[in-house]
Amino acid sequence: MRVGVFTPLLSQLPLDEVLKKLKTKGIDTVELATGNYPGDAHCPVAMLDDAAALDAFRRKLADHGFSISALSCHGNPLHPDAEHARRDAEVNRKTIELAARLGVPVVVDFSGCPGDSPAAKYPNWVTCPWPPDFLEILKWQWDEVVAPYWTQRAAFAAAHGVRIAIEMHPGFVVYSPETLLRLRSIAGPALGCNLDPSHMFWQGIDPIAAIPLLGDSIFHVHAKDTQIYPRNLPLTGVLDTKPYTDERRRAWIFRACGYGHGAEWWSEFISTLRMYGYDYVLSIEHEDSLMSPEEGLTKAADFLNAIVLREPPAAPWWV
Amino acid sequence: MRVGVFTPLLSQLPLDEVLKKLKTKGIDTVELATGNYPGDAHCPVAMLDDAAALDAFRRKLADHGFSISALSCHGNPLHPDAEHARRDAEVNRKTIELAARLGVPVVVDFSGCPGDSPAAKYPNWVTCPWPPDFLEILKWQWDEVVAPYWTQRAAFAAAHGVRIAIEMHPGFVVYSPETLLRLRSIAGPALGCNLDPSHMFWQGIDPIAAIPLLGDSIFHVHAKDTQIYPRNLPLTGVLDTKPYTDERRRAWIFRACGYGHGAEWWSEFISTLRMYGYDYVLSIEHEDSLMSPEEGLTKAADFLNAIVLREPPAAPWWV
Amino acid sequence: MRVGVFTPLLSQLPLDEVLKKLKTKGIDTVELATGNYPGDAHCPVAMLDDAAALDAFRRKLADHGFSISALSCHGNPLHPDAEHARRDAEVNRKTIELAARLGVPVVVDFSGCPGDSPAAKYPNWVTCPWPPDFLEILKWQWDEVVAPYWTQRAAFAAAHGVRIAIEMHPGFVVYSPETLLRLRSIAGPALGCNLDPSHMFWQGIDPIAAIPLLGDSIFHVHAKDTQIYPRNLPLTGVLDTKPYTDERRRAWIFRACGYGHGAEWWSEFISTLRMYGYDYVLSIEHEDSLMSPEEGLTKAADFLNAIVLREPPAAPWWV
Amino acid sequence: MRVGVFTPLLSQLPLDEVLKKLKTKGIDTVELATGNYPGDAHCPVAMLDDAAALDAFRRKLADHGFSISALSCHGNPLHPDAEHARRDAEVNRKTIELAARLGVPVVVDFSGCPGDSPAAKYPNWVTCPWPPDFLEILKWQWDEVVAPYWTQRAAFAAAHGVRIAIEMHPGFVVYSPETLLRLRSIAGPALGCNLDPSHMFWQGIDPIAAIPLLGDSIFHVHAKDTQIYPRNLPLTGVLDTKPYTDERRRAWIFRACGYGHGAEWWSEFISTLRMYGYDYVLSIEHEDSLMSPEEGLTKAADFLNAIVLREPPAAPWWV
Amino acid sequence: MRVGVFTPLLSQLPLDEVLKKLKTKGIDTVELATGNYPGDAHCPVAMLDDAAALDAFRRKLADHGFSISALSCHGNPLHPDAEHARRDAEVNRKTIELAARLGVPVVVDFSGCPGDSPAAKYPNWVTCPWPPDFLEILKWQWDEVVAPYWTQRAAFAAAHGVRIAIEMHPGFVVYSPETLLRLRSIAGPALGCNLDPSHMFWQGIDPIAAIPLLGDSIFHVHAKDTQIYPRNLPLTGVLDTKPYTDERRRAWIFRACGYGHGAEWWSEFISTLRMYGYDYVLSIEHEDSLMSPEEGLTKAADFLNAIVLREPPAAPWWV
Amino acid sequence: MRVGVFTPLLSQLPLDEVLKKLKTKGIDTVELATGNYPGDAHCPVAMLDDAAALDAFRRKLADHGFSISALSCHGNPLHPDAEHARRDAEVNRKTIELAARLGVPVVVDFSGCPGDSPAAKYPNWVTCPWPPDFLEILKWQWDEVVAPYWTQRAAFAAAHGVRIAIEMHPGFVVYSPETLLRLRSIAGPALGCNLDPSHMFWQGIDPIAAIPLLGDSIFHVHAKDTQIYPRNLPLTGVLDTKPYTDERRRAWIFRACGYGHGAEWWSEFISTLRMYGYDYVLSIEHEDSLMSPEEGLTKAADFLNAIVLREPPAAPWWV
C-alpha cells in the first residue's frame, strides 16, 4: 500500500511543479483529474488526440518517477439537464479511453443523480421511503436512467481493460455501500467503488466496518477525514444543507486526515483494507477549510506515511 | 402534563368504542385526524357544515370525559401536483376552522415539500449542500413556495385563535429544529412544532437536547420511539430508503415508547419538556410493526403513565 | 411469545404446589427437568414406564392450565468417565422419548465435553488455539466423540418429532454461536440451541447481536441475566474460576432478569427474537445468589411480563 | 432491606397524617428530623423532657405499625459562629439521647465545616490543594476543630448505644468516602456514614463503586437522585454555585429516584449494598424541584418498592 | 498559530541559555514570568527602572529571534492578607507597564480569591451554593473586592494598550468559563482569559466545548494536560486536596501534552481555537511530576509542533 | 525506561546482523531466547559449557553497545508428557544459570500447564468453575504440580541472583494477575511476571488497571498489542480457538504496538508503569500477521521511542 495525492488542490501549479513538490513529501503516486467537477488542470482528455502532448505527459511522470493510481472525472452524467449529462458522460468516456492508453487501471466518477422524471430541472436525491412519492422517484431513476447508463458504461470500461470506481457520495444515487453494491450487481464486476471515508462518517457508516461488506469491490481509496460536531447536532442533525464554509454552525465538515479521526482509527482502517485484499493507494484529497492546501497536504502525507503498511506481510512463524 | 393518544391506529373502531377502550388504559385525551395522510375516521371536517353532527361529536367527548389535544391533518400542501397541494391545503384550512369551533388550541400538519421547480412531478427533499444544484432548489422552494404559503396560513390560524404545530418530518422542508426555527422566524409565533422524537434520533438529533433550542415553539408532542440498528449501519447508513417493514435489514424502525429508548431516556425527555415550559400532552402514535396496535398502545400507555409528571411542582422549601 | 419458568428452583415443592404458585405470578408455561445436573423433581423419566403416573402428570398440568415448553436434561453425555457419559446419555434418550409421548417439541441438553483422549479423567474444555496441544485435543474431541454422538442423537430425536436445543454453555464444546452452528452443520436441522443470554455476556457476546446469526436455530430461550463487575476485571479477567458464591471478588455472577441488564436491553432482546422468527417461550431460570428463589422468581416474572410481546403483530397500515 | 421516607417533605402535615399517607404508598419506616437544617416538625427533641409526649409519640408509631430508621439533625456544629455551632451541637447531643431512649440505632448529621481560623465569619470549605493557603486551612480545621469534636461525640454516642451516620455532603469537611474514612479512623467505629448518592455523582464518584470502599461504615442510606446536564458543563463545570432552582442553567440538580439514574442503576446500587453487608433502609428524601413533593414521593416509593430486595437470599443449590 | 514556552520550568538557566535550548526544539516564542507565584527568573519588573537592562533584554530576544507572547504574574491580589494582596497587585501593575514598554500585548494573572470577610486570614474559595453561608460569602467577595479591583485594573491595562488574560484556575474566584464571563461583563473587553485546559478537565469542562462559549475572550492559551484516574475517583472524587506528588492516590494530576489526552483531542482543540478566532500562541507549561522538565518540554514541543496549524487557511475552491 | 527487542523475529539473521539492524532503529537492548517455544537462534544455553563461545558472545554485545534485558525460554515445564516437561524444565534451569553467568537479572518463562491427572496426554487449561470437574482438576494441578515445581525453581533462581518473570499467558495456569499473584504468594518474591499486554486485553483485563495490582511483581514487560474485532464477537466471543492467521474471522489478533491501541493508551501504560515503580525495558515482540517482521519492528520501535520516558523525573518545584 502507498500514499498518493489527488492533485486538484494544486491546480494553480503546472504538473512538474506538482510532482517536484510531492516528491519532497514522500509521495510518488498521483490521481489526476480529467474534467467535470474537479477540472482538468494536469491531465486534459484532449491529450487523446495529441500524441505529442501525451508522450510529453508520459515522460514527465516517468522523469519524476511517478505512477498514476487513477484518472478521475467526478461528474453527473445523469443530470436532468441533457447538455450537462451529455458533457459529463463524454468526459467519462474519454477518461476511460485515456486510462486505457496510459495503462491506468482505474477511472473514478460519481454515479450521477437524475431528476424526478424526464421533465425535471434538477437532480432529486432520495433519502427516505415515505411519503410514497419517494419510492416512485427511486424506481424510475434506477430502472430508466441509472441501470441502463452504467451497464453500458461498465461494459465499455471492461472492453478497455479499465475498472470504474464509483465514489459513494451524497447527492448521487450511489452514496452508501448498499447503493454501490446494488449498482455493481446490475453493472457487473468492472464497476466497484472509490471509498472516501469522509462521506461515510456522517451517514452513520463506519468506513472500517464497511470494508468487509464492500470486499473486492474497493478499487480505489480517498484519504480524507470528517469531523462531526456534536454541539451542533441537536439543532441541525446530520442532514446539513449549510455551505461547507459555515464551520461554526455546521454539523460536520471535511478535514485533513488525522484531524477528524486519530492515528488509531486510520491505522485500523489501513489494516482492515489490507485484511480484505485492498493493498493499493490511499489518495489524499484536500478539502479542509481550516488549513491551507499546502499545510493540509503536508500534514496528511506525514500522518499517513507514518502508519501506512508498505511491505507485504510475511508468513507467520509463531503460530 | 398528561398522556394522550393519536387515534388513527384505531380507525377501524367508531369513536365511542375508541374512547371506551382508551379510558381503560388511563387515557382521557385524544388527538384526532381530520384528513390527508392519517385519514379522518373519527373527526371529518365535513362536521363544519353539519351543526347536528358537530353537536353530537362534542357531546360524545364530553360524555366520556375526554378532551382533544390537537386536530391533525398531516399532508403535503406544497406538493408539485397542484391538485394534491390544493386538496391538502384545503383540509388544513378547514381543520383550523374546526379547531377554532371546538376550542382545540393546536392544529398539527407537515410543512410540505415542493418539487424542484413549478414543472416538477414529485417533491424534491434537499438534504445536502453540494453539488450546487441543491442550494438552488432550496432557495426556490423557500422563497417561492414555503414562505408565502405558511406566512399566509399562520396568519389565518392566528386570526382563528389557533396555533399551527408543524411536525418536523423527513421528506418535508421542515425536518429539524433548524428548519423549523427558520420557518417560524418567517411565519411568526403562531407557527411552532409538533415534536415527534422518533424522527429526530436517526438524524443524529437527541430530542432532549433539542428542547432547549426549540423552547416555547413546542406546541404539541408525539410519543413515538425509534430503534436504530447499529448492525445494519455499515451497509446502509441512516439514509435508508427501504420500506419500514423490512425490519431485519433496515438501519432503524419506529417502535412503541420504551422499545427504542428506556424509561431513563423518557423520564429525562418529560422532565426537560417541563423544565422548558411544555406541560401539555404526550400523544401516543403507534407505528411499531413488531407489535399489534392494541399491544403497542397498552405498552406505551402503561409505560408513559408510570413516569409522566402530572402535578405542577411546588416551591422548593429546601434551598 | 410468553413467559415460562424452569422449575428446579422450586424442587422442594411438589408439582401442583409449583403450578399453583406460578399461576399467581402470571405464568402458565413450565420447562421441566428430567434428570442429570438439574435433577428430576417434577418430571422423572421413569414415567415412561408407568402409564398411570404419566396420565396423572398430564392431567395435573391440564387441570392447572399449564403447557410444557421443553424437557431438560442438562448433562455431560461425552464425559471421559464412561459411566457418567452412559448415564447422562441414557437420560437424554429417555427424555426425547418422553417429550415425544407428551407432545413437548423441544428437549434441552448440554453438548457435553470429552477429555483430552480416551484415557482422560476429566473434561478438557479448549478455549485457546496455542500451544498446538489445544488444536490437537479439539480435533480429536470433535471428530471422534462430539460429531458421532450428536449426529446419531439428532437423528433419533428427529425420528421422534422432537428437536434438541443445545444450551451453549462454558465447560462444554458448544459454548458459543460459532460452536453451535458448527455442530448444527454436522448434526442437521433437528439440533439447534437453547439461548441463555447469561452465558454469552462475559464471553463478549451480545446475545442480541447473536440472534441474527443463530436465526432459526433458536429452539428455546432461557431468561437469566449476568452482571459483570468491571471493578474485578483488572485482577481476574472474564476467565474466573472462583465459585459463584464469591460475589465480592468474582468478575461476574448470574442475576435475575433486570438485575444484570435493564428493561431497555431485555425489550430489544425480546423484539429481536421476534424479528428473527422466535416467538415462543422465555423460560425463567433462577441462579441469583443475592436473592431468594421466591423473590428472584417474582422479580423476573413481573419484569418480563411487563415487556414481553404476547400478541402477533398486525399488518402495518401506515407505510 | 426496605424502603423508608425522610419526612421533612411532609412537614406541613401532622405526624399521624404523614404515617397514614405513607402507608398507602407501601411504606412503614420513617427517618425523622429532630432539628437544625431540616427542622423538627415530627420529632422535637423537647420530648426528652416530656414523658407524656414521648409516650404518645411511641404509641402513634406503634399504632400505625411504623419503625424509625434514624433520627436526623443535619447541622453545622463546627460553624465559626459560636452560637450557631453550640446550638447545632446541642441538638445533636439531644438527638443521640432521644435515639437511645427510642431504641433508634442511628443518628444522622453533617460533619460540619469550620472557618479559616478561630476569627472566621463563615465556613471555609476546602476543595483544592494549591495555593498553599488551602492545605494550611485544612490542617487547622481537622487538627483543632473536627477531630476533637467528633472523637468526643462518637464516644458519647457509643456510650448511648447509638451510631452516628455522617452524611457525606459538599460544604462540609466530610464530603467524600476519603474524608469520611479519615474521620472514622480518628473517631472510631461508632461513626460511619449516611450514604446519599445524590451528593456523590457530580463529584465524579460512582456511589456503586464507593460501596466496597465504605464497607461496614455504611449505617444509613438516602434514596435521592441527581441529574447532571452535560449541556451546561462546558460553561459551568460541576462546581456550580447557582441556586438549585435555576434548573435550566445549572450543571446538575437533585431528582427523585429514577429521574437521574434508571432502574438498572438503582438495582445494581441496591444489590451492591446487600453484597457488602448493608441490608437496612433506603430512606427517600425529596428535593426535586421539577416535581411536587406528593408526586415525587409516590414516584420514588413505587420505583424503589419494585426493585428493593426484601427477603434474605437463600443458600444457592446450583453451584 | 505557533508553539511557545512558559519559561519558569527553566528558571535555573539564564535567559540566553533558555532561548538557545528552545531554539533546538523548534520554539521561538516565550511567555515570561515577572513575579508572584512563578517567580521572575528571566524577566524582573525591576527592568522598568533600568533602561540599560531593558535594552539588553530586548536585544537578547531579538538576537535569538524570539518574541514574547505574554508577561505573566500569577498571584492573588485579593488575598485577605493585606500585604500579600498589595505586593501581588503591585507586581501586576508593573507587569502591565512593562508589557506596554515591550510591546507585549497580553498580561496573564489569576483573578485572586478574597477571604470570607475583611477579617479573614485565608482565601475562601466557594464551590457550592448551600448552606446559605456560601452565597453570602460569594456576594461579598464579588461586590466588595473582585469587581472594584478588576474594573480599575482593566481600565489601567486598556489605557496602556495591554489586555489582561485571567487564567481560570481553581482556588480563585474565576475558575470556569462562567465565572470568567461574569468578570468580563463587569470589567470590560480588556479583560479576557488565559485558557489552560489542564484546569478544566477535572471540573467536567471539555475545553474544546468551552471555546465557542469563550469566543473572543480568549487572549492566551496554555498547553498543559491533565490525566484523570478513574480508579481513584470512587474514593476521592474530583475534589482532591492531596498534594500533586501523591500520584498513585490522586484523582488527577497534570501531565505534558499528549500524556493526558492524545493527538486526536489536541488536534481538535487547536482546530476549534482557530475556528473561533484564536490564532496566536500555545504556551507550553510543564508541571508533570512523572517526567523531567527537559523531557517533558521536548515531548510537548515535538507533539504540538507536529499538529499545530501554522499557515492561515486559504479560500476553499471546492465548495 | 527504554525500548528493547525480543529477537526471535529475526532468527534468520546472525546475532551481529541483528544488533546492527536494531541500532539503526534506536534500540540497544535485547531480550534473547534460549530455547523451548521461541527457539535459541541467538543465545543457545550450550554456551554454558563453552567458555570461548560465551566470551565471544559477551564481546559481541559489548562491541555493539547492547545490554540484555532478559533471557527467555517460554515452555511448558509441567506438560503431562514427561519428556516434554523434563526438556522444557531443563532449558529453564540452564537459562537461569546462564543469566547468572551473564549478569542478566531476569529469566522469562511460562508457568506451564499440567493435564487433568498424572495419566493425561495434553494440558488441561481450566477457565470456568462449573461443572465441578473443573475445580477438581485445578486443585490437583496447583497442589500436586504447579506449587512444588515453582517453589523449588524460584528458590533455585534466587540462589543464583536471578528473578523469574512468568509471562501471564492463556493456555497456562498463570494467565492473569490473580493467578500470577497466587503463584507468587506460594513461590516467593523471586517469582514475578513478564507483563505482555497483548494477552490481557481479550480477557477483559485492562493492562493499565492491572499495574497497580501487580505492583513490584512486574519484572519485565513485552511491547505487543492486540486488536479486538467487535464485528466477530457476536459469533465467536473472546474464547476463539481459530488459528491466528484466520484474521478475517477471528475475534482478536496480535498487532504491532500502536495498531491495536493508539499512542494515548501506550502513553498511559508507560506512565503507569513508572508510577508504580517499573522503569526498566519495553521489549518489542512481533507477532503481527498483517505486517512483515521488518516493518512491524520499525513501526513499533518508532512508535515507542517517541513516547517512552527515558529520563528520571525531577523534584516538582511547582507544588
Is residue D308 within 8 A of residue D258, CB to CB? The reply is no
Distance from the Cα of A316 to chain F's closest Cα (Å) equals: 6
The three-class DSSP label of residue B103 is coil
Q: What is the mean pLDDT of residues C250-266?
A: 98
Q: Measured between beta carbons, which residues in chain E are less than 8 angstroms from residue F267?
A: 258-259, 262
* pLDDT tens digits, one per residue of F163-195: 999 999 999 999 999 999 999 999 999 999 999
Contact A268 F243 (CB under 8 A): no
Q: Is the pLDDT of residue C314 over 90?
A: no
* pLDDT tens digits, one per residue of E94-136: 999 999 999 999 999 999 999 999 999 999 999 999 999 999 9
pLDDT of residue B179: 98
- Nearest beta carbon to residue E313 from set A244, A248, A291: A291
D294 and chain B: CB distance < 8 Å anywhere? yes
Distance from the Cα of B129 to chain E's closest Cα (Å) equals: 9
Q: Which amino acid is at E271?
A: S
Distance from the Cα of C259 to chain A's closest Cα (Å) equals: 31
F317 and chain D: CB distance < 8 Å anywhere? no
Contact A309 F289 (CB under 8 A): no
E235 and chain B: CB distance < 8 Å anywhere? no
Contact E241 D203 (CB under 8 A): no
pLDDT of residue A315: 79
Q: Measured between beta carbons, which residues in chain F are less than 8 angstroms from residue C79?
A: 133
Residues of chain E scoring pLDDT < 50: none
- Nearest beta carbon to residue E115 from set D116, D176, D242: D116
Among the listed residues A192, A194, A176, the one whose alpha carbon sits nearest the alpha carbon of residue A184: A192
CA distances from C312 to B288, C275, C280 (A): 12, 11, 11
* pLDDT tens digits, one per residue of A209-231: 999 999 999 999 999 999 999 99
Distance from the Cα of A292 to chain F's closest Cα (Å) equals: 27
Chains that touch D (3 or more CB pairs under 8 A): B, C, E, F
pLDDT of residue D315: 79
Contact C287 D318 (CB under 8 A): yes
Residues of chain B scoring pLDDT < 70: 318-319
pLDDT of residue F114: 98
Handedness of CA B257, B262, B263, B267 (dihedral sign): negative
* pLDDT tens digits, one per residue of A228-239: 999 999 999 999
Q: What is the mean pLDDT of residues C141-168?
A: 98
Confidence category of residue F317, pLDDT binned at 50, 70, 90: confident
Beta strands in chain D (DSSP E): 2-6, 29-33, 67-72, 106-109, 163-167, 191-195, 218-223, 225-228, 252-255, 281-284
Q: Which residues are CB-neighbours of D132 under 8 A, at least 6 positions away?
A: none
Q: What is the mean pLDDT of residues F260-276?
A: 98
Distance separating alpha carbons of residues C40 and C26, to the nearest angstrom: 24
pLDDT of residue E317: 72
Contact E177 D236 (CB under 8 A): yes
B309 and chain D: CB distance < 8 Å anywhere? yes
B279 and chain D: CB distance < 8 Å anywhere? no
Confidence category of residue C317, pLDDT binned at 50, 70, 90: confident
Q: What is the mean pLDDT of residues F238-248?
A: 97
F306 and chain A: CB distance < 8 Å anywhere? no
C261 and chain D: CB distance < 8 Å anywhere? yes
B317 and chain E: CB distance < 8 Å anywhere? no
Chains that touch A (3 or more CB pairs under 8 A): B, C, E, F
Q: Measured between beta carbons, which residues in chain E are less than 8 angstroms from residue F318?
A: 8, 244, 287
F274 and chain E: CB distance < 8 Å anywhere? yes
Say if residue D131 is preceded by a cis peptide, omega within 30 of 0: yes
- In percent, the amount of chain D with pLDDT more than 70 equals 99
Among the listed residues A61, D121, C267, the one whose alpha carbon sits nearest the alpha carbon of residue E114: D121
Compute CA A21 distance to the chain's CA centroid, rounded to the nearest angstrom.
Answer: 22
How many angstroms separate the most distant Cα atoms in chain C? 65
Contact D316 C289 (CB under 8 A): yes
Distance from the Cα of D41 to chain B's closest Cα (Å) equals: 14
Distance from the Cα of F234 to chain A's closest Cα (Å) equals: 14
Confidence category of residue C189, pLDDT binned at 50, 70, 90: very high
Q: Is the pLDDT of residue A305 over 80?
A: yes
Distance from the Cα of D266 to chain C's closest Cα (Å) equals: 9
- Nearest beta carbon to residue A263 from set F248, F262, F289: F262
Q: Measured between beta carbons, which residues in chain F are less than 8 angstroms from residue D209?
A: none
Q: Is the pLDDT of residue D189 over 90?
A: yes
Q: Which of A268, A302, A318, A319 to mutate to test the interface with F (most CBs of F within 10 A)?
A: A318
Q: What is the mean pLDDT of residues D272-278?
A: 98
Compute the count of residue pairs across chains B and E with CB atoms less than 8 Å apart.
3
pLDDT of residue A314: 83
B319 and chain A: CB distance < 8 Å anywhere? no
A308 and chain F: CB distance < 8 Å anywhere? no
Exposure b/e, E97-115, CB count within 10 A at least 16 = b: bbbbebebbbbbbbbbbbb
Beta strands in E47-149 (DSSP E): 67-72, 106-109
- In percent, the amount of chain C with pLDDT more than 70 equals 99
Q: Is the pLDDT of residue C101 over 90?
A: yes
Is residue B121 within 8 A of residue A120, CB to CB? The reply is yes
F205 and chain C: CB distance < 8 Å anywhere? yes
CA distances from F59 to A166, B190, E41, F33 (A): 61, 91, 49, 18
Q: Measured between beta carbons, which residues in chain F are less than 8 angstroms from residue A262?
A: 262, 264
pLDDT of residue A227: 98
Chains that touch C (3 or more CB pairs under 8 A): A, B, D, F
Compute the count of residue pairs across chains B and C with CB atoms less than 8 Å apart.
58
Distance from the Cα of C189 to chain F's closest Cα (Å) equals: 19
Distance from the Cα of A276 to chain F's closest Cα (Å) equals: 7
pLDDT of residue F274: 98
Compute CA A96 distance to the chain's CA centroid, rounded to the nearest angstrom.
Answer: 15
pLDDT of residue D316: 80
* pLDDT tens digits, one per residue of C222-244: 999 999 999 999 999 999 999 99
Q: Which of B198, B236, B239, B287 to mutate to test the interface with A (most CBs of A within 10 A)?
A: B239
Distance from the Cα of E172 to chain A's closest Cα (Å) equals: 29
* pLDDT tens digits, one per residue of D105-163: 999 999 999 999 999 999 999 999 999 999 999 999 999 999 999 999 999 999 999 99
Compute how many other C-beta atoms are within 10 angstroms of the C-beta atom of residue E180.
Answer: 28
Distance from the Cα of C75 to chain D's closest Cα (Å) equals: 14
Q: Tell me the residues of chain E between 53 and 112 that have a Cβ less than 8 Å away from chain D.
A: 76, 79
- Quote the mean pLDDT of chain A: 97
A268 and chain E: CB distance < 8 Å anywhere? no
- Nearest beta carbon to residue E311 from set A227, A243, A292: A292
* pLDDT tens digits, one per residue of B152-192: 999 999 999 999 999 999 999 999 999 999 999 999 999 99
A245 and chain B: CB distance < 8 Å anywhere? no
D236 and chain E: CB distance < 8 Å anywhere? yes
Handedness of CA B152, B157, B160, B161 (dihedral sign): negative
**How would you classify residue D250: left for phi > 0, otherwise alpha for psi between -120 and 50, otherwise beta?**
beta
E125 and chain D: CB distance < 8 Å anywhere? yes
